[in-house]
Amino acid sequence: MSNQELLIRQRFTRQELQCRCGCGAMPPQASIERLTALRYVLDMPLTINSAARCVRHNTNIKGATNSPHIVPSTARPGEQKTWGGCGFDIRITSLAHATRIAIAAEKVGFRGIGISTKNNFIHIDDMARPQITHWDY
């Protein structure tokens, strides 16, 4: 098996998915499984720039207040609980790369897809939405 194949087949590590502040916040299992399915369908490695975030870290990096990256257990009381840590920002090298990921992401059930060619990432999340939503940053 080549290194590339190994990268695709192994599980995502905690380091790849947990909040970058070191608090240990992780995405929900269902979203991790969907991300794993996405990588399987794409059959290529994915570089995760950002996944789960605690509220404090999300604030520190100036993330949106209602960002799907925020883990629900660390959300403020009364805030919506349907997004819970289910956002993933994946590094892209081109618009073609992003498009390929976007098509596969829809196929495996991600419902929010945002592309930033300026900052070289695609955001995907499986937040409950009435319809699949696309946007550009």
Binding flag, residue 54, Zn ion (CB under 5 A): yes
Can residue 19 be called a binding residue for Zn ion (CB under 5 A)? yes
Asked whether position 26 contacts Zn ion by CB under 5 A, the answer is no
Kindly state whether residue 57 participates in binding Zn ion, applying the rule CB under 5 A.
yes
The residues with which 136 forms a beta bridge, in sequence order, are 115
Radius of gyration of the chain (CA): 14
In terms of CB distance, is 73 or 133 closer to Zn ion?
Answer: 73
Cα-Cα end-to-end distance for the chain: 37
Residue 18: CA count within 13 A, CB half-sphere: 8
Q: How far is the CB of 9 from Zn ion (least distance, A)?
A: 28
3-class secondary structure, 74: helix
CA neighbours closer than 13 Å in the CB half-sphere of residue 124 = 28
Query: At closest approach, how far in Å is the CB of 17 from Zn ion?
Result: 12
Asked if residue 8 binds Zn ion (CB under 5 A), the reply is no
**8 or 23, CB closer to Zn ion?**
23
| Parallel/antiparallel/unpaired status of strands 112-116 and 133-136 | parallel
| 21 lies in the binding site for Zn ion (CB under 5 A) | yes
Least distance (Å) from Zn ion to the CB of residue 124?
Answer: 20
CB of 74 to Zn ion, least distance (A): 7
CB-based contact 85:69 (threshold 8 Å) = yes
Q: Which chain residues interact with Zn ion by CB under 5 A? A: 19, 21, 23, 54, 57
